[in-house]
A and B are shown apart, each in its own frame.
Chain A
Protein backbone atom coordinates (compact mmCIF):
# COMPACT_ATOMS: atom_id res chain seq x y z
CA UNK A 1 0.00 0.00 0.00
CA UNK A 2 1.88 3.03 -1.21
CA UNK A 3 0.73 6.59 -1.33
CA UNK A 4 0.61 7.19 -5.00
CA UNK A 5 0.36 10.90 -4.36
CA UNK A 6 4.07 11.52 -4.13
CA UNK A 7 5.14 9.69 -7.22
CA UNK A 8 6.49 11.57 -10.26
CA UNK A 9 3.91 12.77 -12.73
CA UNK A 10 3.70 13.54 -16.38
CA UNK A 11 1.37 16.50 -16.56
CA UNK A 12 2.84 19.53 -18.19
CA UNK A 13 3.63 22.68 -16.29
CA UNK A 14 1.31 25.57 -17.14
CA UNK A 15 2.71 27.04 -20.35
CA UNK A 16 1.87 30.72 -20.33
CA UNK A 17 1.96 33.25 -17.53
CA UNK A 18 -1.81 33.73 -17.75
CA UNK A 19 -2.41 30.02 -17.40
CA UNK A 20 -0.24 29.98 -14.32
CA UNK A 21 -2.03 32.96 -12.78
CA UNK A 22 -5.40 31.38 -13.50
CA UNK A 23 -4.45 28.03 -11.97
CA UNK A 24 -2.97 29.55 -8.83
CA UNK A 25 -5.96 31.87 -8.42
CA UNK A 26 -8.41 28.97 -8.52
CA UNK A 27 -6.30 27.00 -6.06
CA UNK A 28 -6.05 29.97 -3.71
CA UNK A 29 -9.75 30.79 -3.85
CA UNK A 30 -10.54 27.21 -2.88
CA UNK A 31 -7.96 27.38 -0.10
CA UNK A 32 -9.90 30.37 1.27
CA UNK A 33 -13.13 28.39 1.11
CA UNK A 34 -11.67 25.54 3.16
CA UNK A 35 -9.92 27.83 5.63
CA UNK A 36 -12.83 30.25 6.14
CA UNK A 37 -14.45 28.28 9.00
CA UNK A 38 -11.06 27.92 10.66
CA UNK A 39 -10.55 31.67 10.51
CA UNK A 40 -13.92 32.33 12.11
CA UNK A 41 -13.28 29.65 14.74
CA UNK A 42 -9.93 31.12 15.67
CA UNK A 43 -10.81 34.82 15.73
CA UNK A 44 -14.09 34.26 17.52
CA UNK A 45 -12.75 32.07 20.25
CA UNK A 46 -9.96 34.55 20.92
CA UNK A 47 -12.18 37.60 21.25
CA UNK A 48 -12.99 38.98 24.69
CA UNK A 49 -16.63 38.90 25.69
CA UNK A 50 -16.96 42.66 25.13
CA UNK A 51 -16.17 42.46 21.43
CA UNK A 52 -18.10 39.34 20.55
CA UNK A 53 -20.88 40.21 18.20
CA UNK A 54 -22.39 38.12 15.41
CA UNK A 55 -22.35 41.22 13.23
CA UNK A 56 -18.60 41.53 13.55
CA UNK A 57 -17.90 37.88 12.97
CA UNK A 58 -15.16 38.53 10.42
CA UNK A 59 -13.30 41.22 12.40
CA UNK A 60 -9.98 40.43 14.02
CA UNK A 61 -9.85 40.30 17.82
CA UNK A 62 -8.36 43.29 19.66
CA UNK A 63 -5.95 41.01 21.48
CA UNK A 64 -5.60 37.48 22.73
CA UNK A 65 -8.33 36.48 25.15
CA UNK A 66 -8.91 32.98 26.35
CA UNK A 67 -12.16 33.57 28.25
CA UNK A 68 -14.18 31.62 25.69
CA UNK A 69 -11.93 28.61 25.97
CA UNK A 70 -12.01 28.53 29.74
CA UNK A 71 -15.78 28.89 29.72
CA UNK A 72 -16.17 26.12 27.14
CA UNK A 73 -13.80 23.90 29.09
CA UNK A 74 -15.01 24.51 32.65
CA UNK A 75 -18.61 25.52 31.99
CA UNK A 76 -20.33 28.21 33.96
CA UNK A 77 -22.10 27.71 37.25
CA UNK A 78 -23.86 31.10 37.16
CA UNK A 79 -25.20 30.58 33.65
CA UNK A 80 -25.89 26.94 34.37
CA UNK A 81 -24.11 24.91 31.70
CA UNK A 82 -21.51 22.17 31.87
CA UNK A 83 -18.03 22.51 30.44
CA UNK A 84 -16.48 20.06 28.02
CA UNK A 85 -13.64 18.93 30.30
CA UNK A 86 -15.47 15.80 31.50
CA UNK A 87 -16.57 14.92 27.96
CA UNK A 88 -13.07 15.46 26.61
CA UNK A 89 -11.60 13.05 29.15
CA UNK A 90 -14.39 10.54 28.46
CA UNK A 91 -13.39 10.62 24.81
CA UNK A 92 -9.77 10.01 25.77
CA UNK A 93 -10.70 7.02 27.96
CA UNK A 94 -12.89 5.71 25.16
CA UNK A 95 -10.68 6.31 22.16
CA UNK A 96 -7.31 5.06 23.38
CA UNK A 97 -8.28 1.53 24.52
CA UNK A 98 -10.73 1.08 21.64
CA UNK A 99 -8.07 2.10 19.10
CA UNK A 100 -5.44 -0.24 20.50
CA UNK A 101 -7.82 -3.20 20.73
CA UNK A 102 -9.12 -2.59 17.20
CA UNK A 103 -5.62 -2.50 15.78
CA UNK A 104 -4.61 -5.74 17.49
CA UNK A 105 -7.70 -7.59 16.29
CA UNK A 106 -7.33 -6.18 12.78
CA UNK A 107 -3.71 -7.27 12.63
CA UNK A 108 -4.50 -10.89 13.57
CA UNK A 109 -7.47 -11.09 11.19
CA UNK A 110 -5.50 -9.48 8.38
CA UNK A 111 -2.63 -11.94 8.89
CA UNK A 112 -4.93 -14.96 8.65
CA UNK A 113 -6.89 -13.63 5.67
CA UNK A 114 -3.75 -12.65 3.77
CA UNK A 115 -1.41 -15.54 4.54
CA UNK A 116 -3.59 -18.44 5.71
CA UNK A 117 -6.32 -18.41 3.11
CA UNK A 118 -8.79 -21.25 3.28
CA UNK A 119 -11.70 -22.35 1.17
CA UNK A 120 -14.33 -19.66 1.46
CA UNK A 121 -12.04 -17.10 3.07
CA UNK A 122 -12.75 -14.57 0.34
CA UNK A 123 -16.49 -14.89 0.81
CA UNK A 124 -16.00 -14.53 4.54
CA UNK A 125 -13.93 -11.40 3.94
CA UNK A 126 -16.69 -10.00 1.75
CA UNK A 127 -19.27 -10.67 4.47
CA UNK A 128 -17.01 -8.93 7.00
CA UNK A 129 -16.56 -5.92 4.72
CA UNK A 130 -20.28 -5.38 4.32
CA UNK A 131 -20.36 -4.56 8.04
CA UNK A 132 -18.35 -1.42 7.39
CA UNK A 133 -20.90 0.13 5.05
CA UNK A 134 -24.18 -0.59 6.81
CA UNK A 135 -26.12 2.35 8.20
CA UNK A 136 -25.72 1.77 11.92
CA UNK A 137 -29.35 2.73 12.41
CA UNK A 138 -30.11 -0.80 11.24
CA UNK A 139 -28.43 -2.32 14.32
CA UNK A 140 -29.10 0.35 16.96
CA UNK A 141 -32.27 -1.11 18.48
CA UNK A 142 -30.83 -4.61 19.12
CA UNK A 143 -27.53 -3.04 20.20
CA UNK A 144 -29.24 -1.01 22.92
CA UNK A 145 -31.32 -4.02 24.00
CA UNK A 146 -28.21 -6.21 24.17
CA UNK A 147 -26.03 -3.72 26.02
CA UNK A 148 -28.81 -3.15 28.54
CA UNK A 149 -28.81 -6.86 29.34
CA UNK A 150 -25.07 -7.37 29.63
CA UNK A 151 -23.43 -6.79 32.97
CA UNK A 152 -19.84 -8.05 33.26
CA UNK A 153 -18.40 -8.10 36.79
CA UNK A 154 -20.68 -5.29 37.82
CA UNK A 155 -19.78 -3.12 34.83
CA UNK A 156 -22.95 -2.18 33.01
CA UNK A 157 -22.40 -1.82 29.30
CA UNK A 158 -25.34 0.39 28.46
CA UNK A 159 -24.62 4.00 29.28
CA UNK A 160 -20.95 3.41 30.00
CA UNK A 161 -17.59 3.93 28.36
CA UNK A 162 -16.80 0.16 28.36
CA UNK A 163 -20.03 -0.37 26.40
CA UNK A 164 -18.92 2.20 23.85
CA UNK A 165 -15.45 0.65 23.66
CA UNK A 166 -16.97 -2.76 22.91
CA UNK A 167 -19.23 -1.25 20.26
CA UNK A 168 -16.43 0.58 18.49
CA UNK A 169 -14.10 -2.42 18.61
CA UNK A 170 -16.72 -4.70 17.07
CA UNK A 171 -17.87 -2.33 14.34
CA UNK A 172 -14.21 -1.47 13.68
CA UNK A 173 -13.37 -5.09 12.80
CA UNK A 174 -14.20 -4.76 9.06
CA UNK A 175 -12.08 -1.68 8.32
CA UNK A 176 -9.11 -2.71 10.48
CA UNK A 177 -9.15 -6.21 8.96
CA UNK A 178 -9.33 -4.73 5.46
CA UNK A 179 -6.37 -2.40 5.95
CA UNK A 180 -4.17 -5.06 7.55
CA UNK A 181 -5.15 -7.72 5.02
CA UNK A 182 -4.18 -5.47 2.14
CA UNK A 183 -1.02 -4.45 3.95
CA UNK A 184 0.09 -8.03 4.64
CA UNK A 185 -0.88 -9.12 1.14
CA UNK A 186 1.99 -6.93 -0.08
CA UNK A 187 4.53 -8.74 2.09
CA UNK A 188 6.24 -11.25 -0.26
CA UNK A 189 5.13 -14.82 0.32
CA UNK A 190 8.80 -15.87 -0.11
CA UNK A 191 9.56 -14.26 3.25
CA UNK A 192 6.86 -16.34 4.89
CA UNK A 193 8.04 -19.50 3.13
CA UNK A 194 11.64 -18.89 4.13
CA UNK A 195 10.58 -18.61 7.75
CA UNK A 196 8.51 -21.81 7.41
CA UNK A 197 11.57 -23.65 6.13
CA UNK A 198 13.47 -22.37 9.16
CA UNK A 199 10.84 -24.07 11.26
CA UNK A 200 8.59 -21.16 12.22
CA UNK A 201 4.98 -22.07 12.91
CA UNK A 202 1.88 -19.90 12.48
CA UNK A 203 2.78 -17.80 15.54
CA UNK A 204 6.46 -17.65 14.68
CA UNK A 205 5.78 -16.31 11.20
CA UNK A 206 3.63 -13.57 12.68
CA UNK A 207 6.08 -12.69 15.42
CA UNK A 208 9.28 -12.77 13.40
CA UNK A 209 8.17 -11.86 9.88
CA UNK A 210 4.88 -9.97 9.72
CA UNK A 211 4.75 -8.14 13.04
CA UNK A 212 8.19 -6.46 12.72
CA UNK A 213 7.05 -5.10 9.32
CA UNK A 214 3.70 -3.96 10.66
CA UNK A 215 4.58 -0.54 12.06
CA UNK A 216 3.21 1.51 9.13
CA UNK A 217 0.10 -0.67 9.04
CA UNK A 218 -0.49 -0.08 12.74
CA UNK A 219 -0.02 3.65 12.34
CA UNK A 220 -2.55 3.81 9.48
CA UNK A 221 -5.12 1.70 11.31
CA UNK A 222 -4.70 3.49 14.62
CA UNK A 223 -5.03 6.91 13.05
CA UNK A 224 -8.12 5.78 11.20
CA UNK A 225 -9.74 4.30 14.30
CA UNK A 226 -8.67 7.18 16.53
CA UNK A 227 -10.25 9.66 14.13
CA UNK A 228 -13.47 7.78 13.57
CA UNK A 229 -14.01 6.91 17.24
CA UNK A 230 -13.16 10.42 18.45
CA UNK A 231 -15.53 11.89 15.85
CA UNK A 232 -18.36 9.37 16.30
CA UNK A 233 -21.66 10.80 17.37
CA UNK A 234 -24.33 8.19 16.58
CA UNK A 235 -23.13 5.41 18.92
CA UNK A 236 -22.21 7.92 21.61
CA UNK A 237 -25.57 9.66 21.69
CA UNK A 238 -27.47 6.37 21.56
CA UNK A 239 -25.54 4.49 24.21
CA UNK A 240 -24.70 7.22 26.72
CA UNK A 241 -27.57 9.32 28.00
CA UNK A 242 -25.92 10.50 31.21
CA UNK A 243 -23.90 13.73 30.65
CA UNK A 244 -21.17 12.44 32.97
CA UNK A 245 -20.31 9.58 30.61
CA UNK A 246 -20.87 11.29 27.26
CA UNK A 247 -17.96 11.74 24.84
CA UNK A 248 -16.91 15.10 23.43
CA UNK A 249 -19.10 15.11 20.29
CA UNK A 250 -22.24 14.68 22.38
CA UNK A 251 -21.01 17.25 24.89
CA UNK A 252 -20.35 19.74 22.11
CA UNK A 253 -23.73 19.13 20.54
CA UNK A 254 -25.43 19.73 23.90
CA UNK A 255 -23.37 22.88 24.45
CA UNK A 256 -24.19 24.19 20.99
CA UNK A 257 -27.84 23.24 21.24
CA UNK A 258 -28.31 25.25 24.42
CA UNK A 259 -29.69 28.74 24.02
CA UNK A 260 -27.96 30.04 27.14
CA UNK A 261 -24.46 29.39 25.75
CA UNK A 262 -22.97 32.31 23.79
CA UNK A 263 -21.88 31.53 20.27
CA UNK A 264 -18.24 32.34 20.92
CA UNK A 265 -18.18 29.72 23.68
CA UNK A 266 -19.69 27.25 21.20
CA UNK A 267 -16.93 28.09 18.73
CA UNK A 268 -14.26 27.58 21.37
CA UNK A 269 -15.91 24.27 22.25
CA UNK A 270 -15.85 23.23 18.59
CA UNK A 271 -12.14 24.00 18.43
CA UNK A 272 -11.48 21.95 21.57
CA UNK A 273 -13.41 19.01 20.11
CA UNK A 274 -11.58 19.23 16.78
CA UNK A 275 -8.09 19.73 18.17
CA UNK A 276 -6.92 16.13 18.83
CA UNK A 277 -7.82 14.80 15.38
CA UNK A 278 -6.55 17.99 13.74
CA UNK A 279 -3.18 17.56 15.46
CA UNK A 280 -3.03 13.94 14.32
CA UNK A 281 -3.78 15.13 10.80
CA UNK A 282 -1.17 17.87 10.89
CA UNK A 283 1.60 15.63 12.20
CA UNK A 284 0.71 12.30 10.62
CA UNK A 285 -1.17 13.46 7.54
CA UNK A 286 0.61 11.08 5.19
CA UNK A 287 -0.67 8.04 7.13
CA UNK A 288 -4.11 9.60 7.39
CA UNK A 289 -4.18 9.75 3.59
CA UNK A 290 -3.34 6.08 3.28
CA UNK A 291 -6.21 5.16 5.57
CA UNK A 292 -8.56 7.28 3.46
CA UNK A 293 -7.45 5.66 0.24
CA UNK A 294 -7.66 2.20 1.82
CA UNK A 295 -11.20 3.01 2.91
CA UNK A 296 -12.18 3.20 -0.73
CA UNK A 297 -11.15 -0.47 -1.08
CA UNK A 298 -9.08 -0.08 -4.19
CA UNK A 299 -6.61 2.38 -2.69
Chain B
Protein backbone atom coordinates (compact mmCIF):
# COMPACT_ATOMS: atom_id res chain seq x y z
CA UNK B 1 0.00 0.00 0.00
CA UNK B 2 1.47 3.30 -1.05
CA UNK B 3 1.77 6.14 1.43
CA UNK B 4 -0.91 8.79 1.22
CA UNK B 5 1.08 11.86 0.20
CA UNK B 6 -0.28 15.33 -0.57
CA UNK B 7 0.34 14.61 -4.24
CA UNK B 8 -1.84 11.53 -4.12
CA UNK B 9 -4.59 13.62 -2.57
CA UNK B 10 -4.15 16.23 -5.30
CA UNK B 11 -4.24 13.58 -8.01
CA UNK B 12 -7.56 12.30 -6.69
CA UNK B 13 -8.90 15.85 -6.29
CA UNK B 14 -8.06 16.60 -9.92
CA UNK B 15 -10.08 13.60 -11.04
CA UNK B 16 -12.99 14.30 -8.71
CA UNK B 17 -14.98 16.84 -10.77
CA UNK B 18 -15.10 14.49 -13.77
CA UNK B 19 -15.97 11.52 -11.62
CA UNK B 20 -18.81 13.41 -9.94
CA UNK B 21 -20.06 14.70 -13.31
CA UNK B 22 -20.15 11.20 -14.79
CA UNK B 23 -21.62 9.73 -11.62
CA UNK B 24 -24.52 12.19 -11.83
CA UNK B 25 -24.97 12.72 -15.56
CA UNK B 26 -24.45 9.11 -16.62
CA UNK B 27 -25.25 6.79 -13.73
CA UNK B 28 -27.57 9.04 -11.74
CA UNK B 29 -29.50 10.00 -14.83
CA UNK B 30 -29.80 6.40 -16.01
CA UNK B 31 -31.14 5.53 -12.57
CA UNK B 32 -33.63 8.37 -12.77
CA UNK B 33 -34.75 7.31 -16.27
CA UNK B 34 -35.20 3.75 -14.98
CA UNK B 35 -37.30 5.14 -12.14
CA UNK B 36 -39.42 7.25 -14.51
CA UNK B 37 -40.01 4.12 -16.60
CA UNK B 38 -41.75 2.58 -13.58
CA UNK B 39 -44.13 5.51 -13.05
CA UNK B 40 -47.39 6.79 -14.50
CA UNK B 41 -45.87 10.00 -15.99
CA UNK B 42 -47.88 10.30 -19.20
CA UNK B 43 -48.37 14.04 -19.70
CA UNK B 44 -46.39 17.25 -19.39
CA UNK B 45 -46.86 17.41 -15.61
CA UNK B 46 -44.86 14.71 -13.81
CA UNK B 47 -46.76 11.96 -12.03
CA UNK B 48 -44.45 9.71 -10.06
CA UNK B 49 -47.01 7.13 -8.99
CA UNK B 50 -45.26 3.77 -9.32
CA UNK B 51 -46.89 1.21 -11.58
CA UNK B 52 -44.24 -1.50 -11.59
CA UNK B 53 -43.31 -2.99 -14.93
CA UNK B 54 -46.60 -2.12 -16.60
CA UNK B 55 -44.97 0.33 -19.03
CA UNK B 56 -42.69 -2.43 -20.28
CA UNK B 57 -45.57 -4.87 -20.67
CA UNK B 58 -47.50 -2.30 -22.70
CA UNK B 59 -44.40 -1.45 -24.69
CA UNK B 60 -43.73 -5.00 -25.83
CA UNK B 61 -47.39 -5.32 -26.79
CA UNK B 62 -47.22 -2.07 -28.75
CA UNK B 63 -47.46 -2.59 -32.51
CA UNK B 64 -45.13 0.29 -33.37
CA UNK B 65 -42.47 -0.90 -30.94
CA UNK B 66 -42.59 -4.42 -32.33
CA UNK B 67 -42.09 -3.06 -35.84
CA UNK B 68 -39.22 -0.94 -34.49
CA UNK B 69 -37.50 -3.95 -32.96
CA UNK B 70 -37.83 -5.87 -36.20
CA UNK B 71 -36.47 -2.87 -38.13
CA UNK B 72 -33.53 -2.68 -35.72
CA UNK B 73 -32.68 -6.33 -36.28
CA UNK B 74 -32.92 -6.00 -40.07
CA UNK B 75 -31.02 -2.72 -40.09
CA UNK B 76 -28.25 -3.99 -37.80
CA UNK B 77 -27.77 -7.23 -39.73
CA UNK B 78 -27.65 -5.62 -43.18
CA UNK B 79 -25.60 -2.65 -42.01
CA UNK B 80 -23.01 -4.88 -40.30
CA UNK B 81 -22.71 -7.26 -43.24
CA UNK B 82 -22.37 -4.53 -45.85
CA UNK B 83 -19.87 -2.50 -43.81
CA UNK B 84 -17.74 -5.53 -42.96
CA UNK B 85 -17.68 -6.90 -46.51
CA UNK B 86 -17.03 -3.57 -48.21
CA UNK B 87 -14.50 -2.56 -45.56
CA UNK B 88 -12.59 -5.84 -45.78
CA UNK B 89 -12.53 -5.93 -49.59
CA UNK B 90 -11.35 -2.34 -49.87
CA UNK B 91 -8.69 -2.84 -47.19
CA UNK B 92 -7.32 -6.00 -48.83
CA UNK B 93 -7.19 -4.32 -52.23
CA UNK B 94 -5.62 -1.15 -50.86
CA UNK B 95 -3.00 -3.19 -49.06
CA UNK B 96 -1.56 -4.43 -52.35
CA UNK B 97 0.77 -1.49 -52.90
CA UNK B 98 -1.68 0.56 -54.84
CA UNK B 99 -0.69 3.78 -56.53
CA UNK B 100 -2.69 6.67 -55.10
CA UNK B 101 -3.56 4.68 -52.00
CA UNK B 102 -3.72 7.82 -49.86
CA UNK B 103 -6.24 9.41 -52.22
CA UNK B 104 -8.47 6.33 -52.32
CA UNK B 105 -8.33 6.10 -48.54
CA UNK B 106 -9.36 9.73 -48.14
CA UNK B 107 -12.25 9.30 -50.55
CA UNK B 108 -13.55 6.21 -48.76
CA UNK B 109 -13.29 7.75 -45.35
CA UNK B 110 -14.48 11.34 -45.76
CA UNK B 111 -18.18 10.57 -45.14
CA UNK B 112 -17.20 9.80 -41.52
CA UNK B 113 -16.52 13.49 -40.97
CA UNK B 114 -20.03 14.53 -41.99
CA UNK B 115 -23.15 14.75 -39.87
CA UNK B 116 -25.82 12.08 -40.25
CA UNK B 117 -28.21 14.98 -40.87
CA UNK B 118 -26.28 16.06 -43.98
CA UNK B 119 -26.09 12.44 -45.14
CA UNK B 120 -29.81 12.05 -44.58
CA UNK B 121 -30.73 15.20 -46.49
CA UNK B 122 -28.57 14.28 -49.48
CA UNK B 123 -29.59 10.61 -49.65
CA UNK B 124 -33.25 11.52 -49.31
CA UNK B 125 -32.93 13.27 -52.66
CA UNK B 126 -30.70 10.61 -54.20
CA UNK B 127 -33.15 7.86 -53.27
CA UNK B 128 -36.21 9.88 -54.17
CA UNK B 129 -37.78 7.51 -56.70
CA UNK B 130 -39.68 10.12 -58.70
CA UNK B 131 -43.00 9.11 -60.17
CA UNK B 132 -44.31 6.99 -62.99
CA UNK B 133 -45.99 9.98 -64.67
CA UNK B 134 -43.21 12.53 -64.44
CA UNK B 135 -40.21 10.22 -64.69
CA UNK B 136 -37.51 8.90 -62.40
CA UNK B 137 -35.28 11.03 -60.21
CA UNK B 138 -32.10 10.48 -58.25
CA UNK B 139 -30.46 7.06 -58.38
CA UNK B 140 -33.38 5.70 -60.37
CA UNK B 141 -32.76 8.13 -63.22
CA UNK B 142 -29.06 7.27 -63.06
CA UNK B 143 -30.05 3.59 -63.46
CA UNK B 144 -32.19 4.56 -66.45
CA UNK B 145 -29.36 6.30 -68.22
CA UNK B 146 -26.94 3.44 -67.51
CA UNK B 147 -29.40 0.91 -68.94
CA UNK B 148 -29.94 -0.58 -65.50
CA UNK B 149 -33.61 0.39 -65.34
CA UNK B 150 -34.57 -3.00 -63.88
CA UNK B 151 -32.84 -1.98 -60.63
CA UNK B 152 -35.26 0.89 -60.05
CA UNK B 153 -37.34 0.62 -56.89
CA UNK B 154 -39.38 2.86 -54.64
CA UNK B 155 -36.57 2.96 -52.02
CA UNK B 156 -37.85 4.47 -48.77
CA UNK B 157 -41.29 5.09 -50.23
CA UNK B 158 -41.76 1.33 -50.50
CA UNK B 159 -42.82 0.03 -47.06
CA UNK B 160 -41.32 -3.40 -47.80
CA UNK B 161 -37.76 -2.15 -48.29
CA UNK B 162 -37.89 1.28 -46.63
CA UNK B 163 -35.31 0.40 -44.01
CA UNK B 164 -32.88 -0.78 -46.71
CA UNK B 165 -32.71 2.75 -48.08
CA UNK B 166 -31.51 3.87 -44.65
CA UNK B 167 -28.97 1.01 -44.61
CA UNK B 168 -27.52 2.25 -47.92
CA UNK B 169 -27.00 5.76 -46.57
CA UNK B 170 -25.55 4.45 -43.29
CA UNK B 171 -23.20 2.12 -45.17
CA UNK B 172 -22.08 5.01 -47.34
CA UNK B 173 -21.15 6.88 -44.20
CA UNK B 174 -19.58 4.13 -42.08
CA UNK B 175 -18.01 1.53 -44.38
CA UNK B 176 -14.86 3.63 -44.81
CA UNK B 177 -14.37 3.33 -41.08
CA UNK B 178 -14.36 -0.47 -41.29
CA UNK B 179 -11.90 -0.17 -44.16
CA UNK B 180 -9.60 1.90 -41.94
CA UNK B 181 -9.85 -0.58 -39.07
CA UNK B 182 -9.04 -3.53 -41.33
CA UNK B 183 -6.25 -1.67 -43.07
CA UNK B 184 -4.67 -0.81 -39.72
CA UNK B 185 -4.98 -4.50 -38.84
CA UNK B 186 -3.37 -5.61 -42.09
CA UNK B 187 -0.49 -3.20 -41.58
CA UNK B 188 0.04 -4.66 -38.12
CA UNK B 189 0.70 -8.16 -39.47
CA UNK B 190 4.46 -8.79 -39.57
CA UNK B 191 5.96 -9.23 -43.05
CA UNK B 192 7.85 -12.33 -41.90
CA UNK B 193 4.61 -14.31 -41.64
CA UNK B 194 3.79 -13.73 -45.29
CA UNK B 195 7.36 -14.18 -46.39
CA UNK B 196 7.62 -17.50 -44.59
CA UNK B 197 4.39 -18.69 -46.20
CA UNK B 198 5.62 -17.63 -49.63
CA UNK B 199 8.87 -19.49 -49.13
CA UNK B 200 6.79 -22.55 -48.30
CA UNK B 201 5.08 -22.12 -51.66
CA UNK B 202 1.71 -20.74 -50.53
CA UNK B 203 -0.26 -18.72 -53.08
CA UNK B 204 -1.41 -15.19 -52.26
CA UNK B 205 -4.98 -16.51 -51.95
CA UNK B 206 -3.88 -19.19 -49.46
CA UNK B 207 -1.96 -16.61 -47.46
CA UNK B 208 -5.07 -14.45 -47.31
CA UNK B 209 -7.36 -17.31 -46.44
CA UNK B 210 -5.23 -19.13 -43.85
CA UNK B 211 -3.00 -16.45 -42.37
CA UNK B 212 -4.42 -12.98 -42.85
CA UNK B 213 -8.14 -13.53 -42.28
CA UNK B 214 -7.73 -15.46 -39.00
CA UNK B 215 -5.42 -12.72 -37.73
CA UNK B 216 -8.05 -10.10 -38.56
CA UNK B 217 -10.70 -11.71 -36.37
CA UNK B 218 -10.14 -9.39 -33.38
CA UNK B 219 -10.65 -6.43 -35.74
CA UNK B 220 -13.90 -7.92 -36.95
CA UNK B 221 -15.01 -8.22 -33.33
CA UNK B 222 -14.17 -4.57 -32.62
CA UNK B 223 -15.93 -3.46 -35.79
CA UNK B 224 -19.04 -5.50 -35.01
CA UNK B 225 -19.24 -3.97 -31.55
CA UNK B 226 -18.60 -0.39 -32.61
CA UNK B 227 -20.92 -0.54 -35.65
CA UNK B 228 -23.47 -2.61 -33.75
CA UNK B 229 -23.88 -0.06 -30.99
CA UNK B 230 -24.11 2.74 -33.55
CA UNK B 231 -26.83 0.91 -35.41
CA UNK B 232 -28.83 0.20 -32.24
CA UNK B 233 -28.72 3.92 -31.47
CA UNK B 234 -29.35 5.17 -35.00
CA UNK B 235 -31.57 8.24 -34.85
CA UNK B 236 -30.33 11.34 -36.71
CA UNK B 237 -30.17 9.61 -40.07
CA UNK B 238 -33.77 8.43 -39.81
CA UNK B 239 -34.93 11.90 -38.78
CA UNK B 240 -33.25 13.62 -41.70
CA UNK B 241 -33.83 11.00 -44.35
CA UNK B 242 -37.19 9.32 -43.97
CA UNK B 243 -38.90 9.93 -40.67
CA UNK B 244 -40.88 6.93 -39.41
CA UNK B 245 -41.99 6.11 -42.97
CA UNK B 246 -45.18 4.53 -44.24
CA UNK B 247 -46.57 2.14 -41.62
CA UNK B 248 -43.43 2.81 -39.50
CA UNK B 249 -41.38 0.98 -42.14
CA UNK B 250 -38.32 3.14 -41.34
CA UNK B 251 -39.02 3.68 -37.64
CA UNK B 252 -36.46 2.69 -34.98
CA UNK B 253 -36.65 2.59 -31.16
CA UNK B 254 -34.47 5.70 -30.73
CA UNK B 255 -36.86 7.66 -32.98
CA UNK B 256 -39.94 6.31 -31.22
CA UNK B 257 -38.41 7.29 -27.86
CA UNK B 258 -37.83 10.91 -28.86
CA UNK B 259 -41.16 11.18 -30.61
CA UNK B 260 -43.26 9.79 -27.79
CA UNK B 261 -41.35 11.62 -25.05
CA UNK B 262 -40.82 15.10 -26.39
CA UNK B 263 -43.68 15.37 -28.89
CA UNK B 264 -46.26 13.15 -27.19
CA UNK B 265 -45.27 13.87 -23.57
CA UNK B 266 -45.51 10.15 -22.76
CA UNK B 267 -42.49 10.38 -20.49
CA UNK B 268 -42.84 7.01 -18.80
CA UNK B 269 -43.16 5.20 -22.10
CA UNK B 270 -40.20 7.13 -23.52
CA UNK B 271 -38.14 6.21 -20.46
CA UNK B 272 -38.98 2.53 -20.83
CA UNK B 273 -37.92 2.56 -24.51
CA UNK B 274 -34.69 4.27 -23.47
CA UNK B 275 -33.97 1.60 -20.87
CA UNK B 276 -34.63 -1.20 -23.38
CA UNK B 277 -32.19 0.52 -25.77
CA UNK B 278 -29.63 0.87 -22.99
CA UNK B 279 -29.90 -2.81 -22.08
CA UNK B 280 -29.39 -3.82 -25.72
CA UNK B 281 -26.30 -1.62 -26.01
CA UNK B 282 -24.95 -2.78 -22.64
CA UNK B 283 -25.23 -6.45 -23.61
CA UNK B 284 -23.04 -5.67 -26.59
CA UNK B 285 -20.59 -3.25 -25.04
CA UNK B 286 -19.97 -4.27 -21.41
CA UNK B 287 -18.23 -7.62 -22.08
CA UNK B 288 -16.08 -5.88 -24.70
CA UNK B 289 -15.16 -3.05 -22.32
CA UNK B 290 -14.26 -5.45 -19.51
CA UNK B 291 -12.25 -7.59 -21.89
CA UNK B 292 -10.42 -4.59 -23.37
CA UNK B 293 -9.40 -3.14 -20.03
CA UNK B 294 -8.34 -6.57 -18.72
CA UNK B 295 -5.87 -6.95 -21.57
CA UNK B 296 -4.39 -3.71 -20.37
CA UNK B 297 -1.18 -3.84 -22.40
CA UNK B 298 -3.05 -3.76 -25.67
CA UNK B 299 -5.37 -0.93 -24.77
Contact = CB atoms under 8 A, between A and B. Distances in A.
Candidate in A3, A6, A26, A270 with the most chain B CB atoms within 10 angstroms: A270
Contacts, number: 301
B242 to A, nearest CB: 11
Interface in A23-42: 23-24, 26-27, 30-31, 33-37, 40-41
B60 interface: no
Candidate in B113, B235, B282 with the most chain A CB atoms within 10 angstroms: B113
B111 to A, nearest CB: 6
A225 interface: no
A108 B28 CA distance: 23
Contact of B172 (A34, A129, A280): A34
A266 B18 contact: no
Contacts of B40: none
Given A122-B296, A126-B290, A170-B22, A57 B109 contact: no
Interface in A241-299: 249, 252-253, 256, 263, 266-267, 269-270, 273-274, 277-278, 280-282, 285, 288-289, 292-293, 295-299
Contacts of B96: 11-14, 23
Give the interface residue-count category, chain B. Answer: 35 or more
B177 A292 contact: yes
Interface stretch (A92-100, A140-148, A154-162): A140-148
A131 B89 contact: no
A81 to B, nearest CB: 15
B159 interface: no
A230 B114 CA distance: 9
B222 interface: yes
A55 B107 contact: no
A234 interface: yes
Given A130-B286, A285-B106, A108 B95 contact: no
Contact of A122 (B94, B124, B293): B293
Given A11-B186, A138-B277, A130 B11 contact: no
B289 A26 contact: no
A113 B285 CA distance: 22
B132 interface: no
B180 A293 contact: yes
Contacts of A131: 22, 25-26
A43 B239 CA distance: 25
Nearest to B177: A292
Given A40-B126, A297-B292, A234 B236 contact: yes
Contact of A9 (B30, B95, B233): B95
B201 to A, nearest CB: 14
A37 B123 contact: yes
A231 B114 contact: yes
Interface stretch (B61-69, B73-81, B147-155, B265-273): B265-273
A139 B30 contact: yes
B274 A252 contact: no
B19 A55 contact: no
B239 A253 contact: yes
B191 interface: yes
Contacts of B104: 27, 31
B200 to A, nearest CB: 15
B86 A30 contact: yes
17 contacts: A4-B187, A5-B187, A9-B191, A30-B90, A30-B108, A34-B176, A137-B277, A138-B275, A140-B33, A177-B18, A203-B10, A233-B236, A234-B258, A249-B117, A270-B121, A296-B223, A297-B222
Given A54-B130, A173-B22, 14 more contacts: A9-B186, A11-B97, A23-B96, A118-B11, A128-B18, A130-B286, A137-B233, A137-B273, A138-B275, A202-B7, A256-B240, A263-B125, A273-B118, A280-B113
Interface of A: 3-15, 23-24, 26-27, 30-31, 33-37, 40-41, 54-55, 57-58, 105, 108-109, 112-113, 116, 118, 122, 124-131, 133-143, 146, 170-171, 173-174, 177, 182, 201-203, 227, 230-234, 237-238, 249, 252-253, 256, 263, 266-267, 269-270, 273-274, 277-278, 280-282, 285, 288-289, 292-293, 295-299
- Going nearest first, the 6 A-B pairs with the smallest beta carbon separation are A10-B191, A231-B115, A281-B113, A139-B29, A116-B11, A131-B26
Interface of B: 2, 7-8, 10-12, 14-15, 17-19, 21-22, 25-30, 32-33, 36, 86, 89-90, 93-98, 104-119, 121-126, 128, 130, 134-138, 141-142, 145, 172, 176-177, 180-181, 183-184, 186-191, 193-195, 198, 204, 218, 222-223, 226, 229, 232-233, 235-236, 239-240, 254, 257-258, 261-262, 267, 270-271, 273-275, 277-278, 281-282, 285-286, 288-290, 292-293, 296, 298-299
